[in-house]
């Protein structure tokens, strides 16, 4: 028979050491923004002074960096689920990345490493990659309604209408 878990003992709010430990465990699965980490620490019962001190300590140690998170998130999108620039920026803002960091990411050219060679660099390349992933090797449909559905799919992924039209035209011409 399964043993029951002991109920947790009621403790006071976490101190700085416990808050840093909570933050490190939260950062163990993937990089996080300072806003995500702040929400997690507040949910754990930390007071605002402890949250600020823990964030400062984790930033000092190099575990929290919103600029690095924004670059990482953008690269992961390009690698696994290509999205338009507008949608990636909206996702970053939703995760609490400051507007200045998002704007700096938009203006900076991607500094690709050797292993990132196959990743899309332009909005058109991202749209074609999303379309190729969506079609999974199938030919481009010729029916108007099916092409409209594909266009709507790309629009939902954050691509502008002109980019969607170009991607569909190029793919249709290639099939």
**Assigned domain for 4 exists:** no
Do 82 and 47 lie in one domain? The reply is no
SS3 156: helix
Separation of first and last alpha carbons in the chain: 61
Which sign does the torsion angle of CA 130, 133, 137, 138 carry? negative
- 26 and 55 Cβ atoms separated by less than 8 Å: no
**Assigned domain for 114 exists:** no
Do 92 and 55 lie in one domain? The reply is no
Do 29 and 55 lie in one domain? The reply is yes
CA 43 to chain centre: 22
Residue 121 carries which DSSP code?
A: -
Domain boundary residue, one of 24, 39, 60: 60
Residue 58 to residue 68: CA distance in whole angstroms: 14
Burial-class residue 95 by CB neighbours within 10 Å (0-12, 13-18, 19+).
Answer: middle
pLDDT of residue 28: 94
**Assigned domain for 129 exists:** yes
Lookup: tokens for 96: 């609490």
pLDDT at residue 139 greater than cutoff 60 = yes
What is the per-residue pLDDT across 108-138, written as a single tens digit (0 to 9) for each?
Answer: 855 555 556 677 888 999 999 999 889 988 8
**Assigned domain for 116 exists:** no
**Assigned domain for 117 exists:** no
Total count of domains within the chain = 3
Q: Is the model's pTM score more than 0.85?
A: no
- 48 and 17 Cβ atoms separated by less than 8 Å: no
What is the per-residue pLDDT across 41-64, written as a single tens digit (0 to 9) for each?
Answer: 999 999 999 999 999 999 999 999
**Assigned domain for 93 exists:** yes
Do 137 and 170 lie in one domain? The reply is yes
Residue 174 to residue 167: CA distance in whole angstroms: 11
pLDDT of residue 146: 92
User: Residue 96 sits in which domain range?
Assistant: 66-109
């Amino acid at each position: 028979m399964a043993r029951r878990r002991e109920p947790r003992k009621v403790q006071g709010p976490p101190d700085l050491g416990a808050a840093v430990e909570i933050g490190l465990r939260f950062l163990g699965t993937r990089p996080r923004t300072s806003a995500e980490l702040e929400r997690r620490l507040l949910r754990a019962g930390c007071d605002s002074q402890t949250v600020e001190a823990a964030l400062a300590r984790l930033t000092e140690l190099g575990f929290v960096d919103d600029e690095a998170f924004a670059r990482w998130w953008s690269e992961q999108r390009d690698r696994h689920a290509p999205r338009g620039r507008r949608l990636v920026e909206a996702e970053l803002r939703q995760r609490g990345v400051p507007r200045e960091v998002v704007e700096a990411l938009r203006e900076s050219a991607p500094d690709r490493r050797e292993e990132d060679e196959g990743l899309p660099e332009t909005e058109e390349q991202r749209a074609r990659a999303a379309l190729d992933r969506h079609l999974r090797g199938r030919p481009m449909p010729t029916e108007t309604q099916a092409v409209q559905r594909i266009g709507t799919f790309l629009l939902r992924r954050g691509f502008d209408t002109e980019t969607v039209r170009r991607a569909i035209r190029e793919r249709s011409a290639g099939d």
